[in-house]
Amino acid sequence: MAVARSHPALTVGKYAALLGYLTFALFPLYWLFKIAITPDQLIFTEGTNLWPSALTIDNFRTVLFQTDFLAYFGNSLFVSLGTAAVTTVIAAGAGYAFSRFDFGGKRLIIAVMLVTQMFPLLMIIAPIYKIVASLGMLNSLTSLIVVYTAFNIPFATFLMQSFFDGIPKDLEEAAMMDGCSRFQALRKVIFPLTLPGLGATLGFVFTAAWSELLFALMLISKNEAMTFPVGLLTFVSKFSVDWGQMMAAGVLALIPSCLFFIFIQRYLVQGLTSGAVKG
Amino acid sequence: MARIELRDVVKRYGAVEVLRDINLDIQDGEFIVLVGPSGCGKSTLLRMIAGLEPITEGDFTIDGVRMNDVRPRDRDIAMVFQSYALYPHMDVARNMGFSMEIRKDPVQDRIDRVRGAADTLGLSALTKRLPKALSGGQRQRVAMGRAIIRDPRAFLFDEPLSNLDAALRVEMRLEIARLHQKLGATMVYVTHDQVEALTLADRIVVLNGGDIQQVGSPLELYERPANKFVAQFIGSPTMNVLPVTGGDHGVTVANGVTLALPHLPDTLQATELGIRPEHLDVVPAGAGEIAGVADVVEHLGSDTNIYANIEGLGSLMIRKHGNIPIRSGDRLGLRFQTENAHIFAADGTALRRATGSADKAESGHAPTRSLDSDPLAVLLEDPQ
Ligand SMILES: Nc1ncnc2c1ncn2[C@@H]1O[C@H](COP(=O)(O)OP(=O)(O)O)[C@@H](O)[C@H]1O
Ligand SMILES: [Mg+2]
């Protein structure tokens, strides 16, 4: 498709719009970082300056070595990775079944899964608390993994289903004609092509679990089992908020998310299935 | 080698019957082409043979062994998909050798066979490429290579050429014909293109709306179509069909002209007359059975197509060899080669004398044909 060269003014406009959007989206992150490296005594005096007159890494040092931050961090990592792995495995299986098989009750199951997404979480927080408490699983990270997994499965399943739908059925059938069982076809042909989908689902669930606060707050009250978002609240004391340390902790919390996306982004790049069919 | 039989096969999706009463005997080494308009059930029939689609009713056997419930991998049949279905994450060599990889054949064996197939198909320079770096024709060849590498009992093709451009289509058609001659394997080939059907097939199976309309060699279908559908589907350009009134040993065309058809029985039941464009002769105005005016004239060099308007009848198409000096608007006479005319009853069945040779169409033998001495070649309008 040959598109006529657009007018220079249009091009400028396009980049201006992009720049505007990026500024809007990234400014809070910048502000987070700025406050984290601003010395405490300058936070209020230079509150609206774009760049502080002095820099410090004291906030980071304090957060890392004088608070329980590392423990929170480890808890969050455990919960998020666990949730992402369990959810993705289940969602991949369910998504494959929805995409490839016709079975009784399929529409019903899909409808029920959609219904679970319609309630505000606040409505079910009390019943969930009751259930977890009566199971004696309060203050355990496993309970968080179970709850997060349950909440993320519907969306993750639909996500995986759409990825499977994007892989032509012909490929599995060709593999089966070539001597594979259905499972071999899945493992040797479909699985390698689903890596972008698995990556996207892992990333999505990981981020959702990483930043979840509501359930973590309800189900966890012991300091040693706190996840990072709950731990962040400990920087709010009765009389003051330690902004610098809180922001430093926030910056550190971004690191795993960033690493995770850098790691999976090559799987997210589309085009792995191109060349399968005609074209 | 494989002899494939289908007995009273039925396919239903829920309540919808997609194929009815399919009875078909495919001989060892035969090249069978399934043709029919889109949606008539060709792919479904092929996929049932492949084992990718369960058979609702009836029996399907290969060499006398019932195969209905045998998994695709255990049928020893290869299939070339319309979409090619190449594995996008494997290079050409691995794509072709995949079946041997699954079977855990010795690696050296696999390498040798892949090399051999790549040579045969002209893919030697491309074995390290991924499918996305190949042209349509090359992907087609890889798909064929993947099928031939394992030396299966039978080959299935589902419209393998429909995604190629016209020139490549002709080239690959020849290649498939050569492949069949070389391997002598049973092949079942689906297409909606009658030129492919006529050029490749030992026998053609014409399907429409889930029913087999007729099974026969290309010439049989051309000369003795069983009904109006086959008559109009096979042959290019399409047969002219005129409404007629049946008479004694002849029919009366709508504008009052009577044609004697002494060689055909049951002319009394005839409601329509079929005549192929090549079986109409152009004669000077005033001569012949019908008078008309040339409307559009197409000079193709080797042939001339004339679309003539006939008073009270509509348009008839005439095709003649060579360059006929007729121009649009010329008055002309038309003569029917009545020995080549077909008549159809109200339900579309062709009315014809039951001759010995006509019965042969159903007898299921596999005539052997050679590519270069094909009488049909002259009859075909090849797009190329
Ligand atoms: N999975 C299915 N469910 C319901 N109907 C189907 C299914 N697959 C094919 N059909 C129907 O069966 C008929 C034959 O399809 P197909 O064999 O693909 O036709 P062809 O290959 O001749 O174009 C079509 O009318 C199609 O709608
Ligand atoms: Mg089809």
Rounded to whole angstroms, the Cα distance separating B233 from B85 reads 30
Q: In sequence order, what are the residues at sequence separation of 6 or more whose Cβ sits closer than 8 angstroms to the Cβ of residue B361? A: B214, B215, B216, B217, B220, B221, B224, B226
Cα end-to-end distance, chain A, whole Å: 15
How many angstroms does the Cα of residue B191 sit away from the middle of ligand 2?
8
Q: Could you tell me if B88 lies within 8 Å of chain A, comparing CB atoms?
A: yes
Number of helices (H), then strands (E), belonging to chain A: the values are 12, 0
- B231 lies in a domain? no
Beta strands at B186-191 and B154-158: parallel, antiparallel or unpaired:
parallel
> What spatial distance separates the first Cα and last Cα of chain B, rounded to whole Å?
34
Is B87 domain-assigned? yes
Residues paired with residue B305 on neighbouring β-strands, in sequence order? B298, B319
- Are A278 and B52 an interchain contact pair (Cβ–Cβ within 8 Å)? no
Q: Could you tell me if the CB of B13 is within 6 A of ligand 1?
A: yes
The 8-class DSSP code of residue B240 comes to: E
**Is 60 exceeded by the pLDDT of residue B351?**
yes
Question: What gap in Å lies between CA B355 and CA B365, rounded to an integer?
Answer: 17
How many whole angstroms from B299 Cα to the centroid of ligand 1?
40
Does pLDDT of B372 surpass 60?
no
pLDDT exceeds cutoff 60 at B226: yes
Q: Please tell me if residue B165 touches chain A, with a CB cutoff of 8 Å.
A: no
User: pLDDT tens-digit profile of A234-273?
Assistant: 887 767 788 888 899 889 988 888 887 787 776 665 544 4
Does the pLDDT at position B362 exceed 50?
Answer: no
Which residues span the domain enclosing B347?
A: 237-353
Indicate if B247 and B178 belong to the same structural domain: no
Which stretch of DSSP H or E encloses residue A95? helix A69-100
Q: What's the pLDDT tens digit per position in B254-273?
A: 778 889 988 888 888 899 99
Q: Quick one: pLDDT at residue B384? A: 41
Mutation to probe ligand 1, out of B9, B12, B19, B43 (largest number of atoms < 8 A from CB)? B43
Q: Over 80: is that where the pLDDT of B218 sits?
A: yes
Residues B264 and B309 placed together within one structural domain of the fold: yes
B1's CB contacts (< 8 A; 6+ apart) are: B28, B29, B63, B153, B184, B185, B186
Distance CA B276, CA B235 (A): 8
Nearest to B22 by CA among B208, B185, B225, B216: B208
Does B146 lie in the same domain as B20?
yes
- Residues of B numbered 37-56 whose beta carbons fall under 8 angstroms of chain A's beta carbons: which are they? 50-52
Nearest residue in B to A185, CA atom: B102
Average pLDDT of span A109-121:
88
Question: Is residue A186 exposed (0-12), middle (13-18) or buried (19+ Cβ within 10 Å)?
Answer: middle
Please report whether residue B296 resides in a domain.
Answer: yes
Q: What percent of chain A has pLDDT over 70?
A: 93
| Identity of the residue in A174, A192, A279 whose CB atom sits nearest the CB atom of B81 | A174
Reported confidence tier of residue B311, pLDDT bands at 50, 70, 90: confident
Q: With 50 as the cut, is the pLDDT of residue B172 above it? A: yes
DSSP state of B84: -
- From the list B86, B102, B130, the residue facing A180 with the nearest CB is B102
Does one domain contain both B51 and B154? Answer: yes
On the question of pLDDT at B379 being above 80, the answer is: no
Provide the edge-to-edge strand list for the sheet that holds B154-158.
B77-80, B154-158, B186-191, B31-35, B203-208, B211-216
Q: What is the pLDDT of residue A261?
A: 76
Give the pLDDT of residue A205: 92
Q: Which amino acid is at A255?
A: I
- Out of B196, B222, B248, pick the residue that ends a domain: B222
Specify whether the backbone of A212 is left (phi greater than 0), alpha (psi in -120 to 50) or beta.
beta
Q: Please report residues of B whose CB lies closer than 8 A to that of A276.
A: 83-88, 131
Q: Give yes or no for residue B42 CB within 6 A of ligand 1.
A: yes
Q: In the predicted model, what is the mean pLDDT of residues B164-192?
A: 92
Q: What is the CATH number of the domain that holds B21?
A: 3.40.50.300
Query: Residue A188: its chain B contacts at CB < 8 A?
Result: 102
Which pLDDT score is estimated for A45?
Answer: 83
| Whole-number percent of chain B with pLDDT over 90 | 75
What are the structure tokens assigned to B19, written together? 């194929």
CB-CB neighbors (< 8 A) of A271 in chain B: 132
The arrangement of strands across the sheet holding B342-344 comes to B258-260, B250-253, B240-247, B272-275, B342-344, B350-351
Per-residue 3-state assignment (H helix, E strand, C coil) for A170-226:
HHHHHHHHCCCCHHHHHHHHHHHHHHHHHHHHHHHHHHHHHCCCHHHHHHCCCHHHC
Confidence of residue B353 (pLDDT cuts 50, 70, 90): low
Q: Does B41 lie in the same domain as B131?
A: yes
In the reported structure, the alpha carbon of residue B161 is separated from the centroid of ligand 1 by a whole-number distance in angstroms of 20
The alpha carbon of A129 and the centre of ligand 2 are apart by a number of angstroms equal to: 55
* Domain closes at, from B222, B246, B281: B222
| pLDDT of res. B257 | 86
Q: In DSSP terms, which residues pair with B252 in a beta bridge?
A: B245, B258
Residue A179 has a pLDDT of: 94
Q: Mean pLDDT of all residues in chain A?
A: 87
A274 closest CB neighbour out of B79, B84, B132: B132
Give the pLDDT of residue A223: 87
- What local confidence, expressed as pLDDT, does residue B365 receive? 43
Crossing angle of helices A141-165 and A69-100, in 10° steps, is 40
The CATH number of residue B322's host domain is 2.40.50.140
Question: Which residue has 């299939």 as its token pair?
Answer: B79
Which residues make Cβ contacts (< 8 Å) with residue B60, sequence separation at least 6?
A: B4, B5, B6, B7, B9, B48, B49, B66, B67, B68
The answer to whether residues B237 and B205 touch, using CB atoms and an 8 Å cutoff, is no
Q: What is the pLDDT of residues A116-163, one digit of tens each?
A: 888 888 888 899 999 999 999 899 999 999 999 999 999 999 989 988
| Confidence band of A278 (pLDDT split at 50, 70, 90) | very low
**Two tokens at B24?**
């078909």
B112, burial (CB in 10 Å: exposed 0-12, middle 13-18, buried 19+): exposed
Regarding whether B242 and B217 lie in a shared domain, the answer is no
Give mean pLDDT, residues B344-369. 61
Residue B232 placed within a domain: no
Name which residue sits closest to atom 25 of ligand 1, judged by CA.
B39
Distance in Å, alpha carbon of A84 to nearest chain B alpha carbon: 26
Q: If you measure CA to CA, which chain A residue comes closest to B134?
A: A275
What is residue B355's predicted lDDT score, i.e. its pLDDT?
53
Predicted local distance difference test score (pLDDT) of residue A5: 67
* pLDDT tens digits, A37-67: 988 888 888 877 888 888 888 889 988 888 8
Q: What band does B83 get if pLDDT is binned at 50, 70 and 90?
A: very high
Query: Do residue B81 and residue B137 come from a single domain?
Result: yes
Weakest-pLDDT range from A94-98, B163-167, B197-201, B230-234: B163-167
Residues B65, B142 within the same domain = yes
The answer to whether residues B175 and B58 belong to one domain is: yes
The total domain count for chain B is 2
Are residue B153 and residue B267 in the same domain, yes or no? no
B215 shares its domain with B255? no
Q: Is the pLDDT of residue A34 over 80?
A: yes
pLDDT the model gives residue B354? 56
Contact of A95 with A163, CB cutoff 8 Å: yes
Q: Is the per-residue pLDDT at B358 higher than 70?
A: no
Task: Confirm if B53 and B18 have CB atoms less than 8 A apart.
Answer: no
Residues A69-79 pLDDT 10s: 889 999 999 99
> Using one digit for the tens of pLDDT, what is the confidence trace for B93-151?
999 999 999 999 999 999 999 999 999 899 999 999 999 999 999 999 999 999 999 88
Burial of residue A126 (number of CB atoms within 10 Å: 0-12, 13-18, 19+): exposed
In terms of domains, do B193 and B328 share one? no
Q: Which CATH superfamily is domain A56-274 in?
A: MetI-like (1.10.3720.10)
Query: Is A84 strand, coil or helix?
Result: helix
> Measured between alpha carbons, how far is B103 from A268 in angstroms, rounded to an integer?
33
Give residue B312's region: left, alpha or beta (phi > 0; psi -120 to 50): left
**Cα angle value B304/B309/B312 (rounded, 5°):** 150
